[in-house]
């Protein structure tokens, strides 16, 4: 059974008011954005937008800055300087990689994916090189002398008579820290 107390009533009232406030703001912002879409063609031909186009800024970036300005300020009276400030702020927080193509139908390669995959592969190889070649569990931390190979951990090294890489007899073992 649910007992309705005054404190629960206040809590429910607070929750309802909070939801009403959020939905009211959301509705206004959606209405504002839909109104902005109606006038976006007009905004493309303003002096500020044309000025930024002459400096070879992409139209999509300029229009994103216009939408952000109108949403924040609630005014359609902006200057090229206002838009440039917004574009520069977004450029400093986002890294853009542009791929040059031969024509409009040319296929864009995924340069970031290829770079990411090669970095991940290199990281995996480095981590594998740090593993003991005998047990494949611990990190390498001993160097065999006189050959100088670092291929075993301190747990496995006492059992080895010859270097696992060059098969030279081990005369001494020195513990090292591999970063």
What is the 8-class DSSP label of residue 68? H
Q: Are 130 and 141 in contact (CB under 8 A)?
A: no
The reply to whether omega before 34 is within 30° of 0 (cis) is no
Q: Is residue 100 part of a domain?
A: no
pLDDT confidence of residue 173: 92
Query: What is the full DSSP assignment across 83-144?
Result: HHHHHHHHHHHS-------SSTTPPPP-HHHHHHHHHHHHHHHHHHHTB-TTTSSSBP-EEE
Between β-strands 172-175 and 142-145, what pairing exists: parallel, antiparallel or unpaired? antiparallel
Say if residue 22 is exposed, middle or buried (CB neighbours under 10 Å; 0-12, 13-18, 19+).
exposed
28 and 74 housed in the same domain: yes
Q: Is residue 24 part of a domain?
A: yes
Q: Is residue 141 part of a domain?
A: yes
Here the CATH number for the domain that contains residue 151 is 3.30.40.10
pTM strictly above 0.85: no
Q: Is residue 110 part of a domain?
A: no
Domain range holding 39? 7-93
Q: Which two tokens stand for residue 82?
A: 């206002």
Residue 70 parent element (H or E): helix 59-73
Per residue in 120-179, pLDDT (tens digit) is: 888 888 888 888 988 989 999 999 999 888 889 999 999 999 988 899 999 999 998 877
How many domains does the chain contain in total? Answer: 2
Per residue in 163-179, pLDDT (tens digit) is: 888 999 999 999 988 77
Residue 11 parent element (H or E): helix 6-44
Q: Are 13 and 50 in contact (CB under 8 A)?
A: no
């Amino acid at each position: 059974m649910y007992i309705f107390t005054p404190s629960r009533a206040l809590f429910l009232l607070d929750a309802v008011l909070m939801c009403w406030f959020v939905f009211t703001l959301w509705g206004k912002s959606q209405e504002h954005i839909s109104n902005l879409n109606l006038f976006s063609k007009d905004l493309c031909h303003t002096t500020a937008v044309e000025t930024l186009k002459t400096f070879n800024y992409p139209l999509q970036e300029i229009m994103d800055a216009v939408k952000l300005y109108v949403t924040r300020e609630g005014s359609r009276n902006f200057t090229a300087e206002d838009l440039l400030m917004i574009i520069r702020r977004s450029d400093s927080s986002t890294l853009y990689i542009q791929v040059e193509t031969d024509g409009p139908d040319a296929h864009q390669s995924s340069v970031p994916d290829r770079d990411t995959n090669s970095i991940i592969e290199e990281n995996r190889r480095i981590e594998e090189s740090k593993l003991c070649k005998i047990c494949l569990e611990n990190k390498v931390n001993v160097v065999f002398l006189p050959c100088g190979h670092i291929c075993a951990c301190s747990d496995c090294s006492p059992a080895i008579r010859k270097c696992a890489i060059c098969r030279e007899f081990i005369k001494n073992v020195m513990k090292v820290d591999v970063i």
